[in-house]
Amino acid sequence: MRRIIDNDILTLLIRLIVGIIFIYASYYKIIDPQSFAKSIWFYHLVPGKLINIIAIILPWIELTAGIGLILGVYYKGSVALVNILTLFFIIALSMAIIRGISIDCGCFKAAAATSESAWETLKFDFGLVILTIFLVISRSKRWMLSQP
Amino acid sequence: MNRLVKQLLIIIILSTLVGLLRNSLFPNEIAIIGEWRDLSNGEEPVIPPTAEKGDPPFIAINVAQMEYSTKGTKFIDARDFDEYECGTIPGSINIPFDYLPEGDLKPYFDSLLGGIPLDYPLIIYCSGEECDLSLHLGRNFMDVGYSNIMIFFGGSREWESYGLEVERISNCEE
């Protein structure tokens, strides 16, 4: 089992998958911060005055962490951040579902008021967290531009 | 310093700086401190007993406020002009249901709304729960082909009760 987890090619593949997902997820948020702020507001999880600053900064954290994973730069920090962010998204979506707020996640596009895709996104995030935890456990250090 | 903490700090500081820089340089800049209100008690839309299957969807105050914040929706006040001028959601267009012209309403709506596409989001409201004008006007809009209509049945009273911005054309006494 250990040998599979530490496999260089498998680890690189998962780095690429997770990195591309995070870079892709950051794209609409960076080009349209107003819509992303709206998506955050929909969740009613953070105070209104903090929403815009989160909408301005969070996508860049996603982008930087995604690039860090792929290139192997600030690797440990990038792995920690993709895990923290994925867990945060799961908690936020779960709370929205529990509280009956009918939305999709706003992960890859602006959240819509009436979509019922929150469950679908939650399943996707649970799949993603398996990959991000894999990166925590794997000891592979190949194909990185700097020391992890 | 622990390597992990150091890397986390570098990524977060770098992202913060780039994010703030991007926000200040590009045209779709947003304010750093947002004006989003916490409307966690207003998530259930008011639905009138006169609602029928096939009516436009009813939205809650939080959705109305969100649409207002993002400026991508037209608000239509279905009350008479004298009520409209005493206090309306800013930027609303007044289309009094009681004074709709006879005949085909499409050219009339087009002239008031500037020929917007039929799928442009519209939020129609009147004063509040005792008022059916928004619902009736919403049905008229549907009949002539508008497809993205929402009824904010809480109306101007619920809007004001949350302390949201109101535009007063004249100072009316209660």
Amino acid at A147: Q
pLDDT of amino acid A113 = 43
The size of the A-B interface in CB pairs under 8 A is: 104
pLDDT at A120 (0 to 100): 80
Please calculate the CA angle A53-A58-A63 and round it to the nearest 5 degrees: 145
Mean predicted lDDT score pLDDT of chain A: 87
**Would you say A124 and A68 are in contact if contact means Cβ atoms under 8 Å apart?**
no
Is the full-model pTM beyond 0.95? no
The answer to whether B60 contacts chain A (CB < 8 Å) is no
| Chain B residues whose beta carbon lies within 8 Å of the beta carbon of residue A114 | 57
Q: At residue B143, does pLDDT exceed 50?
A: yes
Q: Is the pLDDT of residue A112 over 60?
A: no
Residues of A in contact with B35 (CB under 8 A): 48
Judge whether residue B117 has pLDDT over 70.
yes
At residue B39 the predicted structure's pLDDT band, cuts being 50, 70 and 90, is low
Question: Could you give the CA distance from residue A36 to residue A58 in angstroms, rounded to a whole number?
Answer: 10
Please list every residue in chain A whose beta carbon sits closer than 8 Å to the beta carbon of residue B8: 77, 80-81
Contact A60 B3 (CB under 8 A): no
Residue B41 confidence (pLDDT) = 54
d(CA B85, CA A46): 35
Nearest CB to A51 within list B34, B59, B70: B34
In sequence order, the 6+-apart residues with CB closer than 8 A to the CB of B126 are B77, B78, B79, B97, B132, B133, B134, B155, B156
Q: Does B121 touch chain A (CB under 8 A)?
A: no
- Return all residues near A120 (Cβ < 8 A) that are at least 6 apart: none
